[in-house]
Amino acid sequence: MTDDCDGPLVLDDRDRLFDATVDTGMDLTVDIGRLTLANPVMPASGCFGPELGGLMPVGSLGAVVTKTLFADQRSGNPAHRLTESAHGMLNSVGIPSPGTAGFKRDVLPAYRAFGVPVVASVGGLTVDEYWRVVDELADADADALEVNVSCPNLEHGGLAIGTDAAAVERVVTGIAARTSIPLLVKLTPNVTSIGDVARAAEYAGATAVTVCNTFPGMAIDIRSRRPVLGNGIGGLSGPAVKPLALRLVWQAASAVDIPVVGCGGIGTARDVVEFLLAGATAVQVGTATFTHPYAMAEIVRDLPVLCADLGAARPNELIGGLHS
């Protein structure tokens, strides 16, 4: 493994990064409802697991976000599940899940051990499954839930629940009635109006919306004349989608009064500042960690320097600061 510098990554390099991310000298805290984060940086669901704890200073992050959890065990999609694309990555993992019992027993304690807030991502293939997952997590020690409404709705032909504002409202209303912890709702980009869906989530009781999930894409092997991914299509993420995600964050932030968490192509502190200016309160980092596990820690380290250079005493001063 190598970092952005020449030569192999050695322990001393890691220790220096650990030290650099402990104390930034700037107030980086952000609030998502009643949930206060030490800084606005967290991993995107599905892009971080407890096994990465030995590779980076997880305690320097604002929060950790779990992989999406379903009520029962799921094995996910057939191989191949990942493939590179120009300036990005296509994935069709299919969200394997240990089920709620396995999550509470084996997975959640490992996330809790990092000592930062834990956001549990929940999914469902039916509206009732979302509610069942939340009911079964009632005694779990999560600080917030992120409701992944990009899951295919088997009750309506497999279209993602998040493409229908009424379905989103129904799911979130039921979840809000079942829990008192903050609710983030992760929206799909595959909608005509992200503002309409964001407003539906807000009306139903969402604390914040996460914008956005991956964009649908495809890769083809010209020799076999078959799709590269075992499931045929997958979700595109990485730097290629950043301009698209920025626009959606700006539109969502203009439509709602609750915080927006920006996600899509973020890999540097500069990217974070762009999302803050577009209206995001916090951000999630995904694909960047696959090639550079230190990306989030470096963002936390670099963000105060960039904010000061821009004349901001703290990142909060940049939120929604886009001149248009």
Least confident of 91-95, 164-168, 181-185, 250-254: 91-95
DSSP 188: P
**Rg value, the chain, Cα:** 19
Is the pLDDT score of 77 beyond 80? no
150: confidence class by pLDDT, cuts 50, 70, 90: confident
Bond preceding residue 307 cis, omega within 30 of 0: no
Q: Cα–Cα–Cα angle for 214, 220, 225, nearest 5°?
A: 155
Statement: residue 133 has pLDDT above 90: yes
Mean pLDDT for the chain overall: 89
Strand partners, 277: none
Q: From the CB of residue 32, how many other CB atoms can be counted at a distance below 10 Å?
A: 26
Say if residue 155's pLDDT is above 80: no
Question: What's the whole-number mean pLDDT along residues 155-177?
Answer: 86
284 backbone dihedrals φ, ψ, rounded to 5°: -125, 140
CATH class of residue range 11-318: alpha beta
Residue 208 has a CB neighbour count (10 Å cut-off) of: 27
**Active-site entry in 47, 151, 212, 263:** 151
151 is catalytic: yes
Mean pLDDT calculated for residue range 94-114: 92
Whether the CB-CB separation of 210 and 146 falls below 8 Å is answered with yes
pLDDT confidence tier of residue 82, bands split at 50, 70 and 90: confident
Q: How many CB atoms lie within 10 A of CB 242?
A: 20
How far apart CA 312 and CA 180 sit, in angstroms, is 34
- What's residue 198's pLDDT? 98
Note the pLDDT of residue 11.
36
Q: Which of 245, 254, 257 lies closest to 195 in space, CA to CA?
A: 254
User: pTM of the prediction?
Assistant: 0.90
The domain ranges of the chain are 11-318
Of 308, 317, 139, 322, residue with least CA distance to 246: 322
Model confidence pLDDT, tens digit, residues 207-243 = 999 999 999 999 999 999 999 988 888 889 999 999 9
Give pLDDT tens digits for 256-288: 999 999 999 999 999 999 999 999 999 999 999
pLDDT at 94 over 80: no
Q: Write down the pLDDT at residue 23.
A: 55
CA pair distance 208, 185, nearest whole angstrom: 6
Which residue in 264, 147, 267, 273 sits closest to 208, CA to CA?
147
* CA angle, residues 181, 281, 184, in degrees to nearest 5: 30
Spatial distance between the Cα atoms of 223 and 46, rounded to a whole number of angstroms:
31
